Structure 1
Amino acid sequence: MTTAVATTTRTGHSLVPDTDFNMLAAFCADEYGLERAVADRVVDQALALVFVMGTTGEGASMAPSQQVDPGWHTLILHTDWYANWCEGSFGYFLHHQPNSKTRTGGLMTEVVQKIRAAGFEVDDQLWGTAAECNPPACCGDGPCC
């Protein structure tokens, strides 16, 4: 018996209606001084991260990269929207418990692996896991920066 494996991936953007995504990305761009194209990438990755955290129950062992963190903040700053999205997506409110000291290259690699394993596209440059982001040319996370 042969098992088919899906080769297509999904995006964080695909988890929400376009109108919601555009509202969140526009806020992220404005609030954090990002170009809109960058804010789109950041919010996309934040949605994928939070979805994986919520559906796996592994939120306490995962963290966003420094570059993705503004995306999660964007989500939680829209409290009513975020609470409803969490409830509808995985059945409970996922609290934000910041601990930036946990951001290490190893943790970011583990988080990226979990996001990929859940079938999501990963923007390695935002996670510090792209080849050009390895020390000494670090992308902003961990002790090398």
Structure 2
Amino acid sequence: MTTTTITTAARELREGRSLVEPDLFHRLVQRVAEEHDHDLNMAARVVDQALAFLGTSATHHGRPLSPSEEVDPGWHEFILHTVDYAAFCEQFAGRFLHHVPTDPQDPSTQGKSAHEAIQYTVDAIAEAGFYVDTDLWPTAHSVACSQCHQGCTSSTAP
């Protein structure tokens, strides 16, 4: 018989969903499922990671963070809930967290730089104490783009 011991650090990891009320989380999950053709389980994972990303972005003081292509729809759908999104931003960041598109012609947002941006973001989320669903944060060097079809980062400007 094998016994698995869960470390204290693993037990203390937060989920992004813990940052919002369950009702809002479920509304966002439903929206992601409907708009992005995900089952409810996948939509919940996407929203959870988008919230972890935003929670980290709210207090991160390094270079801008970038969502993965898989996580970005969760951010997009949250932004559409403008009242809830603005309240979240005020509560956790003390300011609005802007969704800043990057120039798709900028080579620094492609290839190796995209991989580095995702890895930097994943590291920041983990350092902030959130669980990272690695399936939704591809970090292979084959990643072509770190963001959505238009590209985006969180803003660090007030």
TM-score with structure 2 setting the length: 0.75
| Of 79, 95, 108, the match for 1:76 | 79
Matches within 5 A, 1:38-77: 38-58=42-62, 61-77=64-80
CA RMSD of aligned residues (A): 2.0
Letter in 2 for 1:105: H
Provide the rounded CA distance (Å) in 2 between the counterparts of 1:80 and 1:36.
24
Provide the rounded CA distance (Å) in 2 between the counterparts of 1:47 and 1:71.
8
Provide the rounded CA distance (Å) in 1 between the counterparts of 2:135 and 2:38.
15
Structure 2 stretches of 5 or more lacking a match?
1-7, 146-158
Q: Match for residue 3 of structure 1?
A: none
Q: Match for residue 22 of structure 2?
A: 18
Provide the rounded CA distance (Å) in 2 between the counterparts of 1:16 and 1:114.
20
Provide the rounded CA distance (Å) in 2 between the counterparts of 1:37 and 1:100.
32
Following superposition, the deviation at residue 88 of structure 1 comes to 1.3
Q: Match for residue 120 of structure 1?
A: 130
Letter in 2 for 1:125: D
| Of 131, 142, 145, the match for 2:144 | 142
Provide the rounded CA distance (Å) in 2 between the counterparts of 1:92 and 1:25.
24
Change (3 A) 1:92 1:68: same
In terms of fraction of residues, the more helix-rich structure is 1
SS of the residue corresponding to residue 131 of structure 2 reads coil
Change (3 A) 1:64 1:87: same
Q: Match for residue 111 of structure 1?
A: 121
1:37 aligns with 2:34: no
Letter in 2 for 1:112: V
Letter in 1 for 2:76: H
User: What's the % identity of the aligned pairs?
Assistant: 40
Equivalenced residue count is: 130
Letter in 2 for 1:33: D
**Which stretch shifts more, 114-123 or 95-104?**
95-104
